[in-house]
Copies of this chain bind each other. A is one copy, B any other.
Amino acid sequence: MLTEDFHPDTTLDKLGEECGIFGGFARSGNVKEIIRKGLFKLQHRGQESAGISCGEETQTLVKAKGLVMQALEDSAIEKAEGRFGVGHVRYSTQGGSSAVNAQPYLIRYMNEHVAIAHNGNVEKAMKIREKFEKIGEVFITNSDSEVLLKRIVFGLKKPPSQWTFEEIGTCLGDDFSNGAFSLALALPKRVVAYRDPVGYRPLFVCEAKEGCFIASEDIAFTGLNIEKVIEIMPGEGVEITENGYCIKRFYGQKKECKCVFEHIYFSHPASNIFGRNVYMTRVELGKTLAETDSIDADIVVPVVDSGIAAAIGYAQKSGIPFHTGLIRNHWVGRSFISPTQETRVNKVREKLLIVRPLIEGKKVLLIDDSLVRGTTSKEIVTMLKKAGAKEVHFRLSSPMLLNTCLWGVDIPTTQELIAAVYKEEKEIAKAIGADSVKYLTLQSLKDTFGQTGWCYRCFEAQKTKDENPQSKTLALTK
């Protein structure tokens, strides 16, 4: 019960996002079941904890560490009833995960309940928290979400049932207009949701036979008898009551800044985020990468599962045959490797198997969507070489990761980012043992998505003091 879960992707050295949200109104009264199924489909956005709050006038909260299927098993949610609710899946951040930070987060105010489920990071949260503390306000969690909620309460000072959609929006817009948030509140017999004015994170509303719902990605609605799915625009939100939904603007137009990494890695391949299908976009990135690549490989192999779409695109454009030469073991459940013993490297070795006849004596073109620390990639390259690969050429369908994120993506410090440390493709290839490494250029990425309207911050070098040379070797030894 108390051991940590072993999550496939967290062992594969990928970036993590803060979370996914789902909420709404279910005509049938069983909103918890619909939220749970929705969260299950958003599980890729967060695997540390899962929670549901639901009710009518008041809310009942259930949350626990673990995957949706474990944390929200039948017996856990047995007592949660009602037609209105919000749910949340949370990503396991490097810096220690604490049960207290699991969401939704439920407060009691003036004899009423409010539950919040929040995806994103709000730059100014720390400052506002301090401001509140100076006047005697107390905080339970470390999360921005508590600050957001307190800001609303403090701004409105009346029972939640009397908070209007616009008033809440004004509180959010006033102090957090540059922050990243897609959030939902369950109020007495009402659910409201807001997407931040710059639009970092996605948010959707769905009208279905079963009721009205919001979610971080449109695929979360799959399985419902859908009548309409609408992407909420930056600065807009939605109010859901038993009479239906209403999309409204709560803050003036700002320069859009949508997170491009949602397409590169975070979102589900089947999702349609920021107006584009994710799988198709990734195939396109793979094709673009192939266009500027002249390597003469025998086979294109994806790092599973993140590199599959790009690899298919690359193979189609280049004519080099695509094969799943690496196969992942999905029968994971809980790990028998306790967190203290584990090393990332060994987990990779236990979980990936190689189809040797595909690799032996071949020039392998290995593709992944992105490269963070390089630890996993180094291990995979080593495995391929050991399995007899003549050459291993590593390709990335996104540019070099050079900078941290201020809006909710959990990127390690630049001292840990392999591209920030080694800077040159040649050096990176040496560090991970590959015969060559090639990234998609930032210019190609911008050509694909557009010069503006997107956030490319993590691909742009931080202007900092030089790191001392010895730090170069640190990244891969840990």
**Chain B residues within an 8 Å CB radius of A37:** 350
Q: With A and B bound together, what is the CA distance between A150 and B335 in angstroms?
A: 36
Q: With A and B bound together, what is the CA distance between A133 and B272 in angstroms?
A: 42
* A330/B333 in contact, CB under 8 A: no
Q: Could you say which of A355-363, A411-419, A429-437, A456-464 contacts chain B?
A: A355-363
Shortest Cβ gap from A184 to chain B (Å)? 18
A15 within 8 A of B: no
Q: Mark A251-270, 1 if CB is under 8 A from B, else 0.
A: 00000000000000000111
Q: With A and B bound together, what is the CA distance between A327 and B43 in angstroms?
A: 14
Q: With A and B bound together, what is the CA distance between A342 and B134 in angstroms?
A: 49
Q: With A and B bound together, what is the CA distance between A197 and B355 in angstroms?
A: 29
**Chain B residues within an 8 Å CB radius of A270:** 327, 353-356
Given the known inter-chain contacts A2-B76, A331-B68, please indicate yes or no for A322 contacting B322, CB distance below 8 A: yes
A444 within 8 A of B: no
Report the copy number of this chain in the oligomer: 4
With both beta carbons as reference points, the residue of chain B lying nearest to A37 in the complex is identified as B350
**Chain B residues within an 8 Å CB radius of A47:** 331
A66 within 8 A of B: yes
Shortest Cβ gap from A276 to chain B (Å)? 9
Q: With A and B bound together, what is the CA distance between A329 and B37 in angstroms?
A: 12
With both beta carbons as reference points, the residue of chain B lying nearest to A270 in the complex is identified as B353
Given the known inter-chain contacts A1-B1, A223-B350, A322-B312, please indicate yes or no for A355 contacting B269, CB distance below 8 A: yes
A248 within 8 A of B: no
A396 within 8 A of B: no
A423 within 8 A of B: no
Instruction: List CB contacts (< 8 Å) of A305-362 with chain B.
Output: 305, 308-309, 312, 316, 321-324, 327, 329-336, 338, 349-350, 353-358
Q: Please list 10 pairs of residues, one from A and one from B, whose beta carbons are closer than 8 Å in the complex, sorted by A's number.
A: A2-B76, A43-B331, A100-B106, A107-B138, A136-B156, A223-B349, A268-B327, A268-B353, A279-B358, A333-B334
Taking A69-B333, A108-B138 as known contacts, 20 extra A-B pairs with beta carbons closer than 8 A to each other, sorted by chain A number, are A2-B78, A8-B330, A37-B350, A40-B331, A41-B353, A67-B333, A69-B332, A73-B334, A74-B338, A110-B133, A134-B157, A135-B157, A136-B150, A136-B155, A136-B156, A270-B355, A280-B357, A305-B330, A308-B324, A316-B321
Name the 8 nearest CB pairs between A and B, nearest first: A136-B154, A43-B331, A270-B353, A279-B355, A67-B333, A2-B75, A330-B330, A277-B357
